Amino acid sequence: MTDPADSTPAPPPPSPWERERPARTRAAVARTPLSRERIVEAAFTVLDRQGLDGLSMRQVAAELGVTVSALYAHVSSKDDLLELMYTRLFDGFELPRPDPDRWQEQVRDYARAGRRRLLSHRDMARISMAHVPFTAELLPYVESLLAIFRTAGLPDRIAAEAGDLISTYIDGFVLEEGMWRDRAAEQSGEDTSLARPDWREMAEEMQDYFASLPAQDFPHLRALAGMMVTDSSDERFDIGLEIILRGLASYLPDATKRAPSDDGRAPDTT
Amino acid sequence: MTDPADSTPAPPPPSPWERERPARTRAAVARTPLSRERIVEAAFTVLDRQGLDGLSMRQVAAELGVTVSALYAHVSSKDDLLELMYTRLFDGFELPRPDPDRWQEQVRDYARAGRRRLLSHRDMARISMAHVPFTAELLPYVESLLAIFRTAGLPDRIAAEAGDLISTYIDGFVLEEGMWRDRAAEQSGEDTSLARPDWREMAEEMQDYFASLPAQDFPHLRALAGMMVTDSSDERFDIGLEIILRGLASYLPDATKRAPSDDGRAPDTT
DNA sequence: ACCTGAACACCGTTCAAGT
DNA sequence: ACCTGAACACCGTTCAAGT
């Protein structure tokens, strides 16, 4: 993000009297040498505009004002590029120092921050689901999450699984959010780019559909329709998260669920 | 599967004396009229052989001995075909009648069966993640899962979320399984088709890598390496499932976690 | 050293034309 | 009614050639 080597002098804006130079100005700006960073940046621009299905090497090249083949000097393949985008997702992610007394809050913060980052670019959850955070750069994040679980006192087998479970939950939830958003967008207007709130319309339509089902065949679906399709997905996210946290908490050695402050219960290291 | 309209007489096998007729015989067999069923079947064959990235309309057509454009008379798009494959996944899925006393076992059965079905075709989890079981045909399965949760006595808001949570977990877990399998396959041999057990080799390699990390920076990752990458993923699947089930159980109205048989606690319908 | 141009082997989808 | 052939507008990747 804040790259000190990035201090290329930007050309001054055109003075008021020089009128409409060919569109070369933009092209010249784009001529700053290619780099992995710039390619990733352009890829995000294309992603947000066209979605993952519209993200092609050719579109990225066009965004940079460059030939497709030029990209392959900096990036070995499209998969490589997608991995760079995935890794970028973790940039500046806060790593808390594990506090046994606040482990649930720390996991909540971790999950909410993860969801927020996934929501920051279109179809990002789809990219995230296709990757695993076991590259050298990302291991500190995995370690940090495991640290929270283990210093909280969770048994090793549970802690080992909890990281996967939480990550899968975040990715899966946001993926589904995106699907609904896409469906709403393609239904209402053709303006695919903006995340317009006219998806509430679809939510109502969906609820009407559930309500129209035969009562004797679908009693539970009818009863829960209002809560399964809701506009505030923040609340839904927190509920699912809470279910997982309660499940994890049930494995804590001391039966008293949430001691306000339990002193000196060291995790069995080694 | 058992389609009674599928009784087209198969041509007898070539008699011993007629030698090597041009390869027309196979072509003639393939000439049984096209149908959505046959297209889906061929698509699964291609999927298992080449994976989702190698599944193209052209390959499916080739598998059927037919031109690509012929497919579009029966299937409106590739997405349509993928949705048919997704729906097929549920064929013959057992729907239990909800039993409040055995709700946890019923959910376990549901989840294990779901995973087994996803594992029955390559990359099936990726297809599943891209869909939502809210088409008319699949609603009974959603209803059935919700029924288990609700008659068990879970609060509505929890029951509504539980279905999503479980489904996401199953898909996510199997997706990851597939990623490891692929990675192992591309590393060891080029024979992509078979699910060879030479992936144990990669598991060891992975564990060695974790063990090689600096001890002061990655204590937890090192401690848990053995349980995070294991060959028996069945066990790992059950552990994650158990965490979710315990979380859900914590929302049951009666504090006593698992009353052996609690009579007459009806779910608040309406 | 870095980028272009052209090519290769693919895609999904459409549509006039054949039988 | 059902399928073919050809075309359109795309793909990811490679590689010789330019500057």
Query: How do residues A84-103 score in pLDDT, each as one tens digit?
Result: 999 999 999 989 999 999 99
Find the mean pLDDT for residues A188-200. Answer: 57
The boundaries of every CATH 1.10.10.60 domain in chain B are 33-88
**Strand D reaches within 7 A of the A61 CB:** no
**CA(A17)–C1'(D18) in Å?**
38
Task: Enumerate the nucleotides of strand D whose atoms come under 7 Å of any protein CB.
Answer: 2-7, 10-16
CA neighbor of B51 nearest in space, from B59, B9, A105: B59
**CA(B63)–C1'(C14) in Å?**
22
Q: Using an 8 Å Cβ cutoff, are B41 and B3 in contact? A: no
Distance from CA of B250 to the nearest CA of A (A): 7
Interchain pair A227, B132: CB under 8 A: no
CA distance readout (Å), B148 to A32, A221, A237, B154, B170: 60, 12, 22, 9, 17
**CA(B165)–C1'(D1) in Å?**
47
User: What pLDDT is recorded for position B6?
Assistant: 31
Interchain pair A224, B150: CB under 8 A: yes
Look at the block and give the residue holding tokens 């997702």: A89
Q: Is A115 on the interface with B (CB under 8 A)?
A: no
Q: From CA A267, how far away is CA A153, in angstroms rounded?
A: 5
| Residue B77 in tokens | 């798009």
User: What pLDDT is recorded for position B270?
Assistant: 33
Closest residue (CA) to C1' of nucleotide D6 is B69
Answer whether residue A2 shows pLDDT above 90: no
Q: Is A211 on the interface with B (CB under 8 A)?
A: no
Q: Is B29 on the interface with A (CB under 8 A)?
A: no
pTM of the model: 0.84
Task: Say which range, A72-76, A162-166, A253-257, B220-224, has the weakest mean pLDDT.
Answer: A253-257
Q: Is B211 on the interface with A (CB under 8 A)?
A: no
Query: How do residues A48-90 score in pLDDT, each as one tens digit?
Result: 999 999 999 999 999 999 999 999 999 999 999 999 999 999 9
**CA(A73)–C1'(C19) in Å?**
52
Q: Which residues in chain B have Cβ-Cβ distances shorter than 8 Å to A169?
A: 165, 168-169, 172
User: What pLDDT is recorded for position B198?
Assistant: 65
| Residue A152 in tokens | 């909280």
Kindly state the DSSP code that residue A229 receives in the 8-state scheme: S
Q: Give chain B residues 105-164 with Cβ within 7 A of strand D.
A: none
Q: Which residues in chain B have Cβ-Cβ distances shorter than 8 Å to A103?
A: none
* Confidence band of A21 (pLDDT split at 50, 70, 90): very low
Q: Report helix, strand or coil for A14.
A: coil
What is the total residue count of chain A? 270
**Strand D reaches within 7 A of the B71 CB:** no
Interchain pair B243, A161: CB under 8 A: yes
Q: From CA B224, how far away is CA B218, in angstroms rounded?
A: 10
The boundaries of every CATH 1.10.357.10 domain in chain B are 94-197+232-258
| Residue A228 in tokens | 């399964």
User: What pLDDT is recorded for position A79?
Assistant: 97
pLDDT tens for each residue of chain B, 270 residues long: 333 333 223 222 332 222 233 333 333 344 678 999 999 999 999 999 999 999 999 999 999 999 999 999 999 999 999 999 999 999 999 899 999 999 999 999 999 999 999 999 999 999 999 999 999 999 999 999 999 999 999 999 999 999 999 999 999 999 999 999 888 887 665 554 445 556 778 888 888 999 999 999 999 999 999 888 776 799 999 999 999 999 999 999 975 544 433 333 333 333
**Residues of A (54-93) whose Cβ lies below 8 Å from B:** none
User: What pLDDT is recorded for position B229?
Assistant: 79
**Strand D reaches within 7 A of the B74 CB:** yes
**Strand C reaches within 7 A of the A32 CB:** no
User: What pLDDT is recorded for position A20?
Assistant: 31
User: What pLDDT is recorded for position B22?
Assistant: 31
* Confidence band of A205 (pLDDT split at 50, 70, 90): confident
Interchain pair A173, B176: CB under 8 A: no
Higher pLDDT, B195 or A270: B195
Q: Which fold has domain B94-197+232-258?
A: Tetracycline Repressor; domain 2 (1.10.357)
Query: Taking CB atoms and an 8 Å cut-off, how many pairs form between chains A and B?
Result: 150
**CA(B84)–C1'(D1) in Å?**
23
CATH superfamily of A33-88: Homeodomain-like (1.10.10.60)
* Confidence band of A166 (pLDDT split at 50, 70, 90): very high
User: What pLDDT is recorded for position A229?
Assistant: 79
Who's near B22: CB < 8 A, 6+ residues apart? none
Answer whether residue A264 shows pLDDT above 90: no
Interchain pair B176, A168: CB under 8 A: yes
* Confidence band of A250 (pLDDT split at 50, 70, 90): very high
Q: Using an 8 Å Cβ cutoff, are A236 and B161 in contact? A: yes
Interchain pair A269, B219: CB under 8 A: yes
Single-letter residue type at A71: L
**Strand D reaches within 7 A of the B165 CB:** no
**Strand C reaches within 7 A of the A8 CB:** no
